[in-house]
Amino acid sequence: MRKMRRKGLASMAVQTVETTTTPGTSVDLGPASGLSCRECGERFPLGPIFACELCFGPLEVAYDLPVGDPEALREKIEAGPDNIWRYAPLLPVPADVASKPNLNPGWTKLVKADNLARELGVTGGLFIKDDSGNPTHSFKDRVVAQALEAARAFGFTTLSCSSTGNLAGAVGAAAARAGFRSCVFIPHDLEQGKVVMAAVYGGELVGIEGNYDDVNRFCSELIGDPLGEGWGFVNVNLRPYYGEGSKTLAYEICEQLGWVLPDQLVIPIASGSQLTKIDKGLQELIKLGLVEDKPYKIFGAQAEGCSPVSTAFKAGHDVVRPQKPDTIAKSLAIGNPADGPYVLDIARRTGGAVEDVNDEQVVDAIKLLARTEGIFAETAGGVTVGVTKKLVESGQLDPSLTTVVLNTGDGLKTLDAVAETSQATATIKPSLDAFRAAGLA
Ligand SMILES: *Cc1c(COP(=O)(O)O)cnc(C)c1O
Ligand SMILES: [Zn+2]
């Protein structure tokens, strides 16, 4: 069973990468002490590798974390910059990271969503973690910022990725700022907002005739080929570092709640990396004594047209069967999610669930959030808000508990989703008579 779960990763892992730096020698990535296999626990030195040589399990960053005085650590963090680097002591980055050229993402708003709470019948406190406020308007700036430091440490000169849209823009922008060349790969049929955002920063943008899973397979081949030498793929050969960026969502949410764990979180799932690393971040805060330990539930959200993880969850399976995506939530359209099995483990371990909504519910939820809170989410935000509504209605989400819902992207990038039903109420001549006649006074 375990072997089957890792099939996707194993096919990505057969090739190795040559770099200009010998892994583990002169690499300064702060508290990161090495990589460890999520399946068998084997340790490896820091390097641009992402799968275990022994069992093909995914590698994760291991740390020497600053255990000891939680009060002093809290103070140090609070005195830090208003971006993710306030948490540098907990991330795989050098201590002077804030002084290097990067986009300084994070410290986005945690919005108390009282109007939406009233509409949904949530009484225990409902919050939107609004990551549309990042430099390229999605949560992807967080993960790219970590991968960029790893790319610097390993001597890469080109930054690359396989992307469902937002990642391509985040990589293009980060590379521009940091002085890297970039060449990013996307499915050819993405929303115009995503394509323009990915191209405008001046790097190379390549549309692949196929879906995200085809793009990802292509990138894995490129990594193993001399053509890809010197290339850091943020979500492939730098994936262990990339993933750590999502922990900052967990840190920020807890700090913004007053160093308190939320009771329930609703998180979107594409590859499942963000959800698994948010859980890792919460666990670290508990271990470090930065928050008091208490139970929390993690809920995963998918679009029905690409719901391999929620399908497996509902069927009680612990393997995820790949799907062919067909949904307007293109940023989440990964049919073969690498971290799917771990999402299932986390949802089950914490007493959460994985649920999905259809495209019509996604559009309704985007408009509901906009109408109640003045937040215009991309389709992924429609998925999390829509799933939250569904979970309240089905009784799986407890309305009397503190709930944090993630909005991971900006509605301006997915205008088509709501354009048809969001038009001028009336078009009139510039006269009071015409205005009166339109019945809007
Ligand atoms: C990439 C992305 C996610 C989550 O992706 P994972 O692969 O699951 O980490 C969520 N929302 C948006 C808008 C994204 O672009
Ligand atoms: Zn292993």
Atom nearest to 131 CA in ligand 1 = 13
Alpha-carbon span 210 to 237, nearest angstrom: 22
Number of structural domains (the chain) is 1
| Radius of gyration of the chain, Cα coordinates, nearest whole angstrom | 21
- What three-state secondary structure class fits 326? coil
The whole model's pTM is what? 0.94
Alpha-carbon span 186 to 170, nearest angstrom: 13
Q: What is the dihedral of CA 141, 147, 148, 149, to 10 degrees?
A: 120
Non-local CB neighbours of 365 within 8 Å, separated by 6+ positions: 357, 381, 382, 383, 385, 386, 389
The verdict on the CB of residue 274 being under 6 Å from ligand 1 is yes
pLDDT at 68: 83
pLDDT at 25: 55
Structural domain contains residue 436: no
pLDDT at 441: 82
Give the CATH number of the domain where residue 124 resides: 3.40.50.1100
Buried b (16+ CB within 10 A) or exposed e, 227-241: ebebbbbbbbbbbbb
The closest alpha carbon to 413, from 156, 200, 97, belongs to 200
Beta bridge partners, 130, equal 109, 407
Domain limits for position 301: 109-136+246-419
pLDDT at 2: 42
Q: What is the dihedral of CA 324, 379, 175, 277, to 10 degrees?
A: -80
> Which one-letter DSSP state was computed for residue 57?
P
Structural domain contains residue 414: yes
Structural domain contains residue 46: no
Alpha-carbon span 57 to 205, nearest angstrom: 30
Atom nearest to 273 CA in ligand 1 = 9
What's the gap in Å between 246 CA and the centre of ligand 1?
10
Alpha-carbon span 366 to 411, nearest angstrom: 8
What's the gap in Å between 6 CA and the centre of ligand 2?
11
Looking at all shown ligands, the one closest to residue 41's CA atom is 2
Looking at all shown ligands, the one closest to residue 57's CA atom is 2
pLDDT at 113: 98
Alpha-carbon span 171 to 147, nearest angstrom: 9
Task: Identify the burial level of 33 via C-beta atoms within 10 angstroms of its C-beta, where 0-12 means exposed, 13-18 middle and 19 or more buried.
Answer: middle
Structural domain contains residue 439: no
Non-local CB neighbours of 153 within 8 Å, separated by 6+ positions: 21, 27, 28, 29, 46, 94
Structural domain contains residue 392: yes
pLDDT at 10: 40
Structural domain contains residue 279: yes
**Pocket probe mutation, ligand 1, options 108, 128, 137, 140, max atoms within 8 Å of Cβ:** 140
Low-confidence ranges of the chain (pLDDT < 70): 1-25
Structural domain contains residue 85: no
Structural domain contains residue 388: yes
